[in-house]
Structure 1
Amino acid sequence: MTRDGTVIDGLEVNGAITVEADDVTIRNTRVRGTPGWWGILQRQGHSGLTVEDVEIFGNGRERTQFGVLNQGVMITVRRANIHTISNGISTEQGLIEDNYVHDPKLYKDDHVDMIMSSGPPAKGTELIIRHNVAVNTLDQTSAIALFQDFGVVRDVTVEGNLLAGGGWALYAGAGAKGTSSNIKVIGNVFSRKVWPKGGFAGPVAYWDAHGRGNVWRDNAWEGGGKVTPE
């Protein structure tokens, strides 16, 4: 897709959608990802993709690694049902809201995250992850992950989500590249329905308690009780 402002509405897609344009909207669409890397991709150099009210899934036998992969700048993903993939949504910036990301598949050499960021957002942007249900039914890697693969994590809000499963339900942004900053983890609910500890190993790992602007507040177990970082 190469035309700015394109709107895709109400399609059944067998294969991948690759966006090489700005301000594209994909809505009310089902994407049956064929074997390969992604269901929907926004390429580097582009921005403004909106994905809403969609279902994205693999066939469960051959690997579809990403439901939504953002290599560009801003993206909005809302009310998506994403399943039967290795990684649900991958982006460093944008708005990820009201999605159901669940029931992943593990393929050789993959790690498995329902919503993930691999580094800091683009200059002048932030990442907001709110009101999602992220359920990783496997024992690795996460429901939500903020990784330092490509730099020190900053300017991320993780708020009002339901998290369950993976090795740790939440990877909270700490890492070897430096101290994370302005990470706000607020009002999330951690479920024991996949693993008794929330994740196979526990609810949360890699939290920088002393990072500038970092906030951990009102995070609780489903059914009651505070969740605190280890």
Structure 2
Amino acid sequence: MVQVRVVGAVVLAIVLGVAGGCGGSDPPPEATGTTAPGVSPSAPTATSAAPSAEPSGTAKMGRAPATATPTPKSGTSGSTGGKPGASNTGVPAGTKLKVVTGDQTYATSNQVISGLDIRGYVRITGKNVTLRNSIVRGGAKRCNSSSVISVSGSARIERTEIRPTNPNACLDGVRGGNITMVGVNIHGVVDGVKAGANVLIQDSYIHDLSFFASDPNQGGGETHNDAVQSFGDRNITLRHNTLSVGSQGNAAWQVTQDDGGTATNLRVENNWLDGGGCTLNFAHKGGPTPMTGIHVVGNRFGSSGFDCPILISTQTRLTTNSGNVFAANGKPIPAPAQHD
């Protein structure tokens, strides 16, 4: 489709106001892992239940308590130290997966779920739940289930692929706070992650987001897709990921400071970032306190973004802004653009 762009202050105003951007509409690629042949669908030991209705679109999540960003366990990410992509994220090659059909709720704290091909939506309500080496595909199209995986407890998600069978304009990848994600491959959704407080995303690959010309959450307009989106939440770190939203996208990370909280301790470290109007967008949309503690360090920016690498409001300052370059030539990116 042809994308019409408005230049100047109108573009910047739109970029600040949106909650997401546009991704590719191609169907998601085949899963990295392999499903065990001849396995009959069966439910895991976790409680099986349909997820309750979640707010859709740009609705805000409940604020999680302010705690330190979780630290990844050594040796479990599967990262080779290179650029995260299809070969080193998601289910490790050769992994045998057991098919599980239907929506799943994991309510038992400290449980580990591994080696599943889940044909339904996942809710994690227990504390310290680990989901690893699995594919989660979601279920039937419905706007009252706004994410393939939702977390209201706390979770670690590692070497897992999120690829909806039925992409739709209401469906995101992961939603919640108190989450560590390592080596995760997310595609085919509108927003990759709707991050609450205390979220670490590391060694992961968010790409090929699904674009829709009509989105009920945008008043019938186009979807506004982001690799990661957050509001007035704190303690969020994006470290060593590939986040690509393409030229139609809004942002690799859209932070919208609102009057419901204060965004602070936000870190973007050693990522490959590409696409959107402004690839990193720190927008102050209300409230008396500006965002603080924003650190943007050692990132490589692609050339698909059509306006600027970083956009901040006039009320916002970057605490640290160093080592950020264009991936193509290693030259430093320009100073952040500013607009209210």
TM category (shorter chain) comes to 0.7 to 0.9
1:80 has 2:189 as partner: no
**8 A Cα contact 2:290 2:315, kept in partner:** no
Question: Residue 218 of structure 1 aligns with which residue?
Answer: 323
Q: Which whole-Å CA distance do the structure 1 matches of 2:188 and 2:293 have between them?
A: 32
What is the deviation of 1:13?
0.7
Which of 41, 55, 65 is the matching residue for 2:150? 41
Structure 2: gaps spanning 5 or more residues: 1-105
Which of 96, 117, 122 is the matching residue for 2:230? 117
Alpha-carbon distance change, 210 to 138 in structure 1, aligned in 2, over 3 angstroms: closer
Q: Which whole-Å CA distance do the structure 2 matches of 1:188 and 1:18 have between them?
A: 33
What is the deviation of 1:24?
0.4
Q: Name the count of aligned residue pairs.
A: 215
Alpha-carbon distance change, 189 to 175 in structure 1, aligned in 2, over 3 angstroms: farther
TM-score by length of 2: 0.59
Q: Which whole-Å CA distance do the structure 1 matches of 2:276 and 2:242 have between them?
A: 13
**Alignment RMSD (CA, Å):** 2.0
Bigger mean CA deviation after superposition, 202-211 or 80-89: 202-211
Question: Residue 128 of structure 2 aligns with which residue?
Answer: 23
SS state of the match for residue 69, structure 1?
strand
1:185 has 2:296 as partner: yes
What is the deviation of 1:97?
0.4
Percentage of matched positions with identical amino acids:
29
What is the deviation of 1:58?
2.0
Q: Which whole-Å CA distance do the structure 2 matches of 1:205 and 1:226 have between them?
A: 16
Within 5 Å, which residues of 2 pair with 1:88-103? 88-92=192-196, 93-103=198-208
Q: Which has the higher contact order (CA 8 A, sep 6+)?
A: 2
Question: Residue 229 of structure 1 aligns with which residue?
Answer: 336
Question: Residue 265 of structure 2 aligns with which residue?
Answer: 155
Q: Which whole-Å deviations, capped at 9, do the CAs of 1:5-43 have from their partners, x for residues lacking one?
A: 121100001111101111100000001122242111102
- AA aligned opposite 1:127: I
What is the deviation of 1:210?
6.1
Question: Residue 308 of structure 2 aligns with which residue?
Answer: 202
- AA aligned opposite 1:19: I
Q: Which whole-Å deviations, capped at 9, do the CAs of 1:140-184 have from their partners, x for residues lacking one?
A: 311112221443321111111111112221113544433211110
Q: Which whole-Å CA distance do the structure 1 matches of 2:246 and 2:296 have between them?
A: 22
Question: Residue 133 of structure 1 aligns with which residue?
Answer: 242
1:146 has 2:255 as partner: yes
1:62 has 2:175 as partner: no
